[in-house]
A and B are shown apart, each in its own frame.
Chain A
Amino acid sequence: MVTAEKHRNGTPALLSVSGLVKEFPVGRGLFGTRGVVHAVQGVSFSLSSGETLAVVGESGCGKSTLARCVLRLLVPTAGTIMFEGIDITDAPTSQLRRLRRDAAMVFQDPFGSLNPRLRVASSVGEPLREARIGSKREIDTRVRELFTQVGLNPEHFSRFPHEFSGGQRQRIGIARALALHPKLLVCDEPVSALDVSAQAQILNLLGDLRDELDLSYLFITHNLDIVRRFCDRVLVMYLGRVMETATVTELFAAPRHPYTAALLAATPIPNPRLMRARGRTPLTGDPPSPLSPPTGCPFHPRCPRAQQRCRDEVPPLTPSGGSHSFACHFPLEPATTS
């Protein structure tokens, strides 16, 4: 199921992010703002065509912000984003037409991401109307097509969102995202708000669509189980920085960063031997606020292996053979599992 190697060699990256920084001014002092939220602090990665890259981390680590920067819903403070070889970092809205067509977002909240006052057909057809593609009839046909594609009954397309269940609404959201035949889907926790059975269905749908339409996914989630089952590569974020990035196999078998290990330890998997091999490094405490991130390595206040150097120096992202990189001064040893 995991096809990590397939698109590794030679294919130009669909999405290439380099040194992305996003800061938000916050607070209301007497004379202007007094505080900056460092949501994303220097993130770099690339995504190849057909690949599914997971971005994981706790709440507040910046993954949602990252997703929004990639789709230019937010303008990055610094860094570069290249999509299909074109620099979209600062491009004015008028030039983002191609981005809007070839990349789309699936939102977390199936309740909130659809305008409750519009019939679902209108919501799904909106990208088509906005891009001025096709007559009304052509749009209708396309919408019905999309409905079938996501597993909904096209007869229901003139209903309102509140008449559908959560899982169905998420399908509608996906249908809308697929309207303009995108190459990249950015999914921001697409199943977190659903119950377990709906989760499975949606994931299956996304998997089928991936094969049918040769899609790439930037998959934001905090659920490592989904990552293991569904994604090719993983990016682990903490307080706006990348802690580790690897293929799914590599990460789950032998995490190098203490934070990743702790995350994995907190996620039970049905393999007692692997679990024992990992060891127990429970995560204590809550992540500090992105308003005032710690100096040096952002994880050092909670890291059992932290030392003075971690306080002083930000560890750079160091590659370690193949596609595995980590940002740690004292990484875990590559474990030898039996």
Chain B
Amino acid sequence: MKFVARRLLIAVGQVLLVTLLAYLLFYVISAATGASPAQRVAGHAATPAQIARVAHLLGTDKPFYVQYLNFVDHIIHGNFGYSFLQRRPVTQIILPAAGVSMSLILVSVVMWILMAVPIGLVAALHPRTFTDRFLTICAQVAIATPVFWLAPILSYLLAFEPNQGRFLGISLGTSVNIFPIEGWVSLTSNPWQWLHHLLLPGLALALGFTGFYARFVRALVLEQLDEDYVRTARSKGAGRPRVLRAHIGRVVAPSIITLLGLDVGAAIGAVLFVELIFGLPGLGFVAVNSIQNLDYPVTVGVVTFTGLLTVGAMTLSDLAVAALDPRVRRPVG
């Protein structure tokens, strides 16, 4: 229990830090670099007096810490700010976008776990064979491939070309539509189409992580296979599948969960590119647009929201691991 309380306390601290930095980033730095929100709202032709009045209305003329406290207060009440450009609350912009991103990440995570674990296992169980080497090279290539390049290439090969009746330049005769090229369908309107539209983007996102996790699983399983407790189990007559499931699984599963928690932050970064390329109106899409349009309240809102999500994911995974692995819970010393 002490552990849980401690972990939550740390999470709260992290959240505060995230919000502080997000706030610092956009309001303070942008003010310092001469692109203050007040100026933007007031417009190009505004006089200093008008700008000052707008600043007063917006509340941006108050001292920094007051602004920040208001900001935090609003966040606690679920209010992420107001976008002047789009004339609606940021929360309204963020929530549906969050749904899109979450769907994508969910589909992707499922894909990459389903792919990485078997690949890692196979490689570990047949070490140094051709299969192992081949899979390892594939994994390495997957890790080295940037998402923002892989996504268009995949989209081209698996969606666009077949759609035009070609594949790798060879004519197929007819138009084949395995994957839609882009677009988003919400879960509530059409679940099947929702999934269908997420398959290709999910795959693009998943491949890089698959490579990483496959290597990780391979290394971990190899390490465990060498451990004495496995040899003991085998010598007692346990068959390999049972050993794998009961013993090694118990070690691998928590590690994967920990990794997942940490990778949420990285996933969000990659998600951004996939959303842009496949035209999915998720958080990344919204964030990049807001930066390009100088719509800073939205940017801050997205960054804060994502930061909160990441902290939440990390905390959850830590707690989950603690639940699974009793060693973690014991206090040090």
Contact = CB atoms under 8 A, between A and B. Distances in A.
A123 to B, nearest CB: 32
Mostly, the B contact residues are helix
Nearest to B5: A30
Contact of A35 (B2, B5, B333): B333
Instruction: Name, among B5, B9, B332, B333, the residue most crowded by chain A CB atoms within 10 Å (CB to CB).
Output: B333
Contacts of B5: 30
Contacts of B9: 30
Nearest to B2: A30
Q: How large is the interface on A (under 10, 10 to 19, 20 to 34, 35 or more residues)?
A: under 10
A29 B331 CA distance: 8
A28 to B, nearest CB: 5
A91 interface: no
Nearest to B332: A28
A30 B6 contact: yes
Nearest to B331: A28
B46 to A, nearest CB: 52
B32 to A, nearest CB: 38
A296 interface: no
B332 A27 contact: yes
Contacts of A27: 331-333
Interface in B274-333: 331-333
Nearest to A25: B333
A335 B9 CA distance: 63
A26 B333 CA distance: 6
B7 to A, nearest CB: 11
Interface residues of B, number: 7
Contacts of A28: 331-333
Mostly, the A contact residues are loop
Nearest to A33: B333
A76 to B, nearest CB: 21
Contacts of A30: 2, 5-6, 9
A223 to B, nearest CB: 30
Contacts of B2: 29-30
Contacts of B6: 30
A30 B5 CA distance: 9
Nearest to A37: B333
A29 B3 CA distance: 9
Interface string B4-16: 0110010000000
Contacts of A35: 333
Interface in A25-73: 26-30, 35
Interface in B1-46: 2, 5-6, 9
B210 to A, nearest CB: 37
Interface in A17-31: 26-30
A234 to B, nearest CB: 33
A24 to B, nearest CB: 10
A29 to B, nearest CB: 8
A30 B331 CA distance: 10
Interface string B249-284: 000000000000000000000000000000000000
Contacts of B331: 27-29
A35 B333 CA distance: 9
B330 to A, nearest CB: 11
B97 to A, nearest CB: 37
Interface in A276-299: none
A35 B9 CA distance: 22
A35 B331 CA distance: 12
A20 B200 CA distance: 72
A28 B6 CA distance: 11
A317 to B, nearest CB: 31
Contacts of A29: 2, 331
A27 B2 CA distance: 13
A227 B131 CA distance: 62
A29 B6 CA distance: 9
A30 B13 CA distance: 14
Interface string A102-128: 000000000000000000000000000
B13 to A, nearest CB: 13
A232 B5 CA distance: 56
A4 B243 CA distance: 64
B92 to A, nearest CB: 39
Nearest to A35: B333
A34 to B, nearest CB: 8
B169 to A, nearest CB: 57
Going nearest first, the 7 A-B pairs with the smallest beta carbon separation are A27-B333, A26-B333, A28-B332, A28-B331, A30-B6, A28-B333, A27-B331
Interface of B: 2, 5-6, 9, 331-333
Given A30-B6, A30-B9, 4 more contacts: A26-B333, A27-B331, A29-B331, A30-B2
Interface of A: 26-30, 35
10 contacts: A27-B331, A27-B332, A27-B333, A28-B331, A28-B332, A28-B333, A29-B331, A30-B5, A30-B6, A30-B9
